[in-house]
Amino acid sequence: DPDLPRFRIAEVRKHGADSDHPWVIYGDKVYDITDWIPAHPGGQVILRAAGGSIDPYWNIFTIHKNQYVYDILSQYLIGYVDQADLVNGKPAQDQIEDPFENDPERHPSLITRTAKPRNAETPAEALSAQFLTPNELFYVRNHMWVPTIEDSKSDDYRLTVELLDGTMKEYTLRELKTRFPSRKVTAVLQCSGNRRKHMSDDSGRQTNGLPWTSGAISNASWEGVLLSDVLADAGFDLSEAMSGSSETQHVQFMGLEAYGASIPIKKAIDPQGDVLLAYSMNDKPLPRDHGFPLRAIVPGHVAARSVKWLNHITLSDEESTSQWQRKDYKCFGPNQTKVDWDAAPAIQELPVQSAITTLKLGKWLDSKIEPNVLKNDQDQAVTSQNPPQQEISMSGYAFSGGGRSIIRVDVSLDGGGSWTQAYLLPDCVSKNGMPSPCRGHGAWSWKRWVFEGSVPLDTFKEKHGGRPDDPVTAAANSKTPDSGQKRCTTVLVKATDDAYNTQPESHAATWNFRGNLATAWHRVQVCTDC
Ligand code: MTE
Ligand code: MO
C-alpha cells in the first residue's frame, strides 16, 4: 500500500523492547508487533528485534522463513522505511543490529566451527590432558546469541517454575542459593553431533549439522541445587510422581533466548539422577557461553537437554514443543531420509562412545602417569623385538550415558586384526586423603585412557585414503612429510560399558541424515616414512 507512511530508522529505534508499541523492520517494511507478542509462539524473544530489523533473527530462527509467518506479520504492517535510509531497497548493513555483537570473547585455542552463533570444539590435546576440562576450553554449542545478564544483577535473576495446573512460583538466584542445599556433580556434556564429521567422512555420506570431530564433549564439576528440591518446594508432589501416578510426564526447560528442551519426569525425580540447576562450573561462576547465571545439568543425557540461561521450567504431560525436542535430536535408519519426526523418540540417555585424542609414534612420555600403569598385560611384555617393532602411544576418552560406567577400552594397532586393552586412568579415586573429584550417583564423567604398545613394522602398509583433515590424524602425522614413500597402519579404539553395550564397527551402519550419535570405532591412520 503506497499510501502508508515512510519512517526514518531513527524513528523505528524509539519503538524498542521497552516501548508500549514495539516495531520491527522486515526488508523495507515497518510493522507494529504489539498485538503479536502475546500470541507469538516463541514468547517475548521477538522483542529482541524490536526497534530494528527482524531479518538477522529470522536468519537464526529459520522456522520463520515460511509463508504463514509472513502472512501473520503482514497484518501488522504500518509503513515503509524512508528511502533516505535504504541502500538497494534495504536498510544499510550498518543500520542492522548484529544479534551476536554482545557475545563474549573466547579462548583462541577453541576450534571454531561457526562464529555466529558461536560453536567451537575443545582441541584434541586438551580433551585427555585433564580430567576436568578448563572452563575456557570447554566446547561451546550455541544455537543463538549469548544473553547478557550483568554480574551485579545476577542474584536477582529469576527462574519461574510452572506446575501442570498452571500454578507458578518464582525464585531469584539468591533464593535458590540460600534456601536449598547446594550439590556438586561431576558430569560430561556431549553434543549429539560429537564426531559427526567422522560419520560423514567414513561413510562417504553427507549429514546435516556442524562438522564436529571428537571435541564436542567436555567434563566439568557443576554446583547448584537439585531440580527435585525446587520442584517439591514449588508444590510438585514428588511421592505421587515416584509412584508413577502423576499426570506430569515431562520437565520442560526454557532458556532466555528461546532455546527449549525437556526431560522425562522420571529422570528429574530420580534420587540418584543428580539433575541440577547449576550456577557454578569448576568452582567458578558459570561462564556466559555456558549459561550464566543458571543452567540445567542433566547428567548422562545428551547435552541438548542441559538448557543454558534457564529462566522457565514447565511441568507438563507432553515434551517441549521446541524443534530441538521434537526434531533435530533424533536418529533414523540409514535408509530413512524423508522422515516422520514423531516416529522416533528424542535422544535422552547417550550410547557408549570413545575417541583417540593424542597419538604418537614412539614411547609415551607423560611423567604424570606412573610408569607401572603403562606396563600392559603379558601380550605386550613378551613381544619380542624380532621382527622389528614400531612403538605407538596414545590417549583418549571413553564415556557412556545413563550413568553406566566404562569397564574396558580396546585398542587395535593393525586395523582391527588384533586387540589389546588400554589403561583406564584412576581419575575418580580419592588421592592423598583428598576426596574423589567425582561427585554424584552415577558414572557421569568420562574415563580417560592411555595406551603404549608396539606392532611389527610390517603392519604398516602402503598408504590408502585416510582423513588428512582430522586433527588427530594430522597431529599424528605432522612429522611425516606428505611427499615420498609412506607406509601406514590404522589404529582403532572402542569402549564397552557396564551393560556390555559397545560401539558399532562402522559409521555406515548407524548413519542417519542428521548425523547424530556418531559412535562407531574411532579410526586414526598413522604413517612412517620408511
Ligand atoms: N541451551 C540454550 N539456552 N541454548 C542453546 O543453544 N544448546 C544445547 C545445550 N543447551 C543450547 C542450550 C546443546 S545442543 C548443547 S550440546 C549444550 O547446551 C552445549 O553446552 P555448552 O555450550 O555449555 O558446552
Ligand atoms: Mo548439542
Contact by Cβ (8 Å): 222, 494: no
Query: Residue 379: pLDDT above 90?
Result: no
CA of 143, nearest ligand number: 1
Cβ(320) – ligand 1 distance below 6 Å: no
Cβ(61) – ligand 1 distance below 6 Å: no
> Rounded to the nearest whole angstrom, what is the distance from the C-alpha of residue 142 to the centroid of ligand 1?
6
Max Cα separation, the chain? 91
Sequence-separated (6 or more) residues with CB below 8 Å from residue 494 = 354, 409, 410, 502, 503, 521, 522
| Residue 203, pLDDT score | 95
Supply the residue whose CA is at minimum distance from atom 13 of ligand 1: 304
| Residue 43, pLDDT score | 72
Task: Round the average pLDDT of the chain to a whole number and report it.
Answer: 91
| Residue 385, pLDDT score | 59
| 351 cis-preceded (ω within 30 degrees of 0) | no
| Residue 67, pLDDT score | 86
DSSP states of 488-518 as a string?
EEEEEEEEEETT--B--S-HHHH--TT----
* Averaged pLDDT for residues 355-367: 81
> Rounded to the nearest whole angstrom, what is the distance from the C-alpha of residue 477 to the centroid of ligand 1?
33
Query: Residue 310: pLDDT above 50?
Result: yes
Contact by Cβ (8 Å): 46, 99: no
* Averaged pLDDT for residues 437-447: 96
> Rounded to the nearest whole angstrom, what is the distance from the C-alpha of residue 333 to the centroid of ligand 1?
26
Q: What is the pLDDT of residues 282-300, one digit of tens each?
A: 999 999 999 999 999 999 9
Query: Residue 266: pLDDT above 70?
Result: yes
Query: Residue 163: pLDDT above 50?
Result: yes
Nearest-atom index, ligand 1, CA of 141: 22
Q: Which one is predicted more confidently, 176 or 364?
A: 176
- What is the best residue among 100, 106, 141, 312 to mutate for testing ligand 1's pocket, by most ligand atoms within 8 Å of CB? 141
CA of 292, nearest ligand number: 1
> Rounded to the nearest whole angstrom, what is the distance from the C-alpha of residue 306 to the centroid of ligand 1?
7
- What is the best residue among 281, 306, 325, 347 to mutate for testing ligand 1's pocket, by most ligand atoms within 8 Å of CB? 306
The Cα 175–Cα 157 span in angstroms is 10
Residue 434: CB atoms within 10 A of its CB come to 8
The Cα 376–Cα 372 span in angstroms is 9
Nearest-atom index, ligand 1, CA of 139: 24
- Using alpha carbons only, what angle is made at residue 368 by residues 365 and 370, rounded to the nearest 5 degrees? 85
| Banded model confidence at residue 471, pLDDT cuts 50, 70, 90 | low
Query: Residue 195: pLDDT above 90?
Result: yes
The Cα 356–Cα 394 span in angstroms is 7
Q: Which helix (H) or strand (E) holds 201?
A: helix 196-203
Nearest-atom index, ligand 1, CA of 324: 14
CA of 255, nearest ligand number: 1
Residues with active-site annotation: 40, 64, 141, 191, 329
Nearest-atom index, ligand 1, CA of 329: 14
| Residue 470, pLDDT score | 63
| Residue 371, pLDDT score | 43
The sheet carrying 111-114 orders its strands as: 111-114, 119-121, 140-141
Query: Residue 383: pLDDT above 70?
Result: no
Q: What is the pLDDT of residues 212-248, one digit of tens each?
A: 999 999 999 999 999 999 999 999 999 999 999 999 9
* Dihedral sign from CA coordinates of 91, 97, 100, 101: positive
| Residue 469, pLDDT score | 52
ipTM of the prediction greater than 0.85, yes or no: yes
The closest alpha carbon to 51, from 72, 22, 31, belongs to: 22
Query: Residue 465: pLDDT above 80?
Result: no
The closest alpha carbon to 276, from 258, 257, 251, 256, belongs to: 251
Contact by Cβ (8 Å): 233, 167: no
Cβ(303) – ligand 1 distance below 6 Å: yes
> Rounded to the nearest whole angstrom, what is the distance from the C-alpha of residue 308 to the centroid of ligand 1?
6
Residue 125: CB atoms within 10 A of its CB come to 15
Cβ(138) – ligand 1 distance below 6 Å: yes
Per-residue buried b or exposed e for 89-103, using 16+ beta carbons within 10 Å of the residue's own CB: ebbeeebbeebbeeb
Q: What is the pLDDT of residues 24-83, one digit of tens each?
A: 999 999 999 999 988 887 777 888 899 999 988 887 777 777 888 888 899 999 999 999
Cα–Cα distances in angstroms (integers) from residue 348 to residues 98, 303, 331, 515, in the given order: 33, 9, 11, 16
CA of 210, nearest ligand number: 2
The closest alpha carbon to 265, from 246, 291, 290, belongs to: 246
Query: Residue 382: pLDDT above 90?
Result: no
Supply the residue whose CA is at minimum distance from atom 8 of ligand 1: 304
> Rounded to the nearest whole angstrom, what is the distance from the C-alpha of residue 240 to the centroid of ligand 2?
32
Query: Residue 463: pLDDT above 80?
Result: no
| Residue 381, pLDDT score | 46
Query: Residue 491: pLDDT above 90?
Result: yes
Q: What pTM was computed for the model? A: 0.89
Cβ(312) – ligand 1 distance below 6 Å: no
Q: Which helix (H) or strand (E) holds 279?
A: strand 276-281
Cβ(255) – ligand 1 distance below 6 Å: yes
The Cα 530–Cα 109 span in angstroms is 33
Cβ(447) – ligand 1 distance below 6 Å: no
Supply the residue whose CA is at minimum distance from atom 20 of ligand 1: 141
CA of 305, nearest ligand number: 1
Sequence-separated (6 or more) residues with CB below 8 Å from residue 123 = 109, 110, 111, 137, 215, 471
Per-residue buried b or exposed e for 272-299, using 16+ beta carbons within 10 Å of the residue's own CB: ebbbbbbbbbbeeebbbbbbbbbbbbbb
* Averaged pLDDT for residues 189-200: 98
245: Cα separation from own chain's centroid = 33
Contact by Cβ (8 Å): 163, 236: yes
- Angular region, 368: left φ>0, alpha ψ -120 to 50, beta rest: alpha
pLDDT-wise least confident of 5-19, 40-54, 333-347, 471-485: 471-485
Cβ(491) – ligand 1 distance below 6 Å: no
Q: Tell me if residue 407 falls in helix, strand or coil.
A: strand
* Averaged pLDDT for residues 491-519: 97
Supply the residue whose CA is at minimum distance from atom 16 of ligand 1: 191
Cβ(189) – ligand 1 distance below 6 Å: yes
Contact by Cβ (8 Å): 317, 250: yes
Q: What is the pLDDT of residues 244-261, one digit of tens each?
A: 999 999 999 999 998 999
| Banded model confidence at residue 367, pLDDT cuts 50, 70, 90 | very low
The Cα 313–Cα 253 span in angstroms is 5
| Residue 372, pLDDT score | 43
| Residue 378, pLDDT score | 43
